[in-house]
Structure 1
Amino acid sequence: MIQDPVSKTVTGVVIARHGKTLRVAAKNGVVLATGGFENNQQNIEDYLGASHLSPLGTLYNKGIGLKLGQQVGADMWHMHNYESLGLLHGMAFAVKPGERARLMISQQLVSQGRVFVIGDDGSRYFNEAEPNRHGHLFNHGQWKVPLNQDHPYLIFDKHQKKQLDQDPIIGQYQPYLDNLIKANSIDELAKKLQVSAKVLHQTFKRFNKAAEKGKDPEFHRPAKSMVPFGKGALYAVPLVQTMLNTQGGPRRNANAEVVDSAGQPIPHLYSAGELGGICANQYQGGGNLAECLIFGKIAGENAAEEKAVPDQADQAVDTTTTASKFTTKLTSDLAATQKPDYPTEANQYIGENDDGIGGRVVVRVTLTDDHKLANVEVLEQSESEDVGLKAMAELPKQMVAKNTVDVDSVSGASVSSQALKAAVKDALKKAESASTDSSK
């Protein structure tokens, strides 16, 4: 962020584009709408007290808005609040850190029958059959997100496994298939899960007793949903608590203005969406979408309103800290940015698309004499360093190998994938046009 040190007015931002650090001057205002911190492990540990939560949505929400707000003195609020969704109390079959978990709504196969969930010590810790409300369970008069477990497991027997395997979604889901653990006894299962065998024996004993007597005194799970475990193989599969979205971020007022610790608006700075959402402790159904629409409109209109610009020195950017140093009047580096002219040879065509996560994607496509794909080079892109770059590296190879643009997008990088495909299609369209012209 670029901020006047005297008036505290936000006058622009610093961005990275095409390998360069550029200043962008804001004519009337800046709107922070960068989303939450669902895929920032450090933020999750610091603000939510969880060792790991798997995002259900975009992988690009990494908390950049928190840093931008802190740079200009914004007050923070609702940092501890977030929503989950999915199986049980907002869970999913475990995936690797940084990967998107799959949203599954159906509860029956993981909450009814010879099945329960254990926490880190090998004991049950909630009513598996209770429907969640965005990850919240009813707790003594209020709806709360259950305490997150580092290593929760779904425990079931061969009869339950048969049903899970036959489910058209779960039975084909790779994280379920790859992480399935089998044991021939409770002791063997405890050893594989690294929990106390004594505790796990007690957990099975209490569950079976509750199922037989038709009453679960610990968690009040409905008797009809519990079936005693019999003899035979036992199974476990790791679970993870999901993250739908966070609510924390810079505090905003009714005008969508970002405010400082004294409650005073930071001039020309606004916010919208889940970055600093209005939900403090729980979540009102439909609230996230409504907030995006309402505060997006308010922030956009107020930021676009023409304002008097205070007298200020210009700001030369310290690219190490992205702080502002003042010299003469601020101008935008974008105005001087020109698109490079990429060279082409015979059967080579340049394609462009501006809809990537980082903006412009440029490719050079080489065709054979019979118009088949010979090579796809990515000349320019500003996609994210994790999944976005994976799409830029993998998709060109697949396109050439299959001689088609219509290849599967990279999971978690659908926007980057679509932008790359569109750029290649643009190049092919130019090739078709050139071929038509030459035949006339």
Structure 2
Amino acid sequence: MSSLVKGIRRGMALVPLAAFGALGASAQEASEVSAYVDSSYLFLIGGLIVMFMAAGFCMLEAGLVRKKNAAMQSMKNVALFSVAGIMFWLVGYNMAYPGATIAGGWFGIPNFIWTPADDLGTGYASASDWFFQMVFVATAASIVSGTVAERVKLWPFLIFTAFLTAFIYPIVASWEWGGGALDSQFAFSDFAGSTLVHSTGGWAALVGAIIIGPRVGKFVNGEVHPMPGSNIPLAALGTFILWFGWFGFNGASQLAAGTFDDINAVAMIFANTNMAACGGVLAAMILTAILYKGKVDATMAFNGAIGGLVSITAEPLMPSMGLSILIGAIGGVLVVLTVPLLDKLKIDDVVGAIPAHLVCGIWGTMIVPLSHGGGFGIDTTDAATPSYLGQFIGVLACGIFVSIASAIVWMALKVTLGVRPSEEEELAGMDKSEVGLEAYPEFG
């Protein structure tokens, strides 16, 4: 009987320990679920905000084209977002995040048609990540839309968009975000896509502008003929929407929000992103006032904001707020200096997307090591420390691949379907020839 009593006593003594252990396991699981929910919400809310950038691009472009092309430009932006969503589902996502790679990590082998696979261990809902990544690829396509506006036919443009969003952009993204060559072999870093998103769109836009050619009447007898936009207030609205959207673009690229450090990082990214845009606007305004006898070009100020935002996108967390202002300000200066350079080269960029997205994307990527204390080699022993050489290799690889791939697609479209309307149709406006209605019929 004595041994029985002792056994009962020992068993009862273990009950609180077992209960405590169960509570501890339950608390740990609850913490994991909470972090899972928080990070999924970050993706979803960030994705919604980035999706609103599509409206920003639409308003900016509709304001900066002439009134005879505003309906066409609006429809292109709605259509390209739709194409991007379907192509990223069919091919793009699994190309950007492949299960296996070939050619030393430069090309992925995708499984066609993305399907969700939720697991608490991933830290977020898989569809939330798909949605967040999808709106990024739509941003790259929107960059091309603005550059080649007013002289490209609708269906050839959408076919190019399909190739860009299914293959070209996802391949570049896979090099860093999908564990490909830049991530595994070089000290390269691009936090939210100054190169992977913005320069990709910028290179595709540049090649398209060269192959398609300038608008009729833009360059005549060695002179540049300005073609002012139809609605500057609308372009200003588009700029503010893009500025707003960038908080989701950069902030949600932290990819987690379930811990003290992660949510503080998101907050810091918001602050630095805003400061870079402020620096870009003011630098562009001051420089245009100096260069153009006191006149401040509103479109330069708008693109100064975008240039500053693109510049900080490669690393919006590590810089101080003061350095963020400087990085954005240099982006604004680069925008002002690049616009007349393109005119001299007879490259017609309707909305200034090449200076803001391509040039500032390169600048933002190359300056990343400054805030990391990085050097000039390609040593990958410290993956968190990018080098200037590693950044340059990433910029160069993106430029070469996107330019060649884009040239192949643009040229194939040019010799088959044709990419330009007739001169008569272009002069009459794309609203009439491609859309069948005018954006501002009362002003026709």
With normalisation by structure 1, the TM-score equals 0.25
Which of structures 1 and 2 has the bigger CA Rg? 1
More strand by share: 1
With normalisation by structure 2, the TM-score equals 0.25
Higher relative contact order (CA 8 A, sep 6+): 2
More helix by share: 2
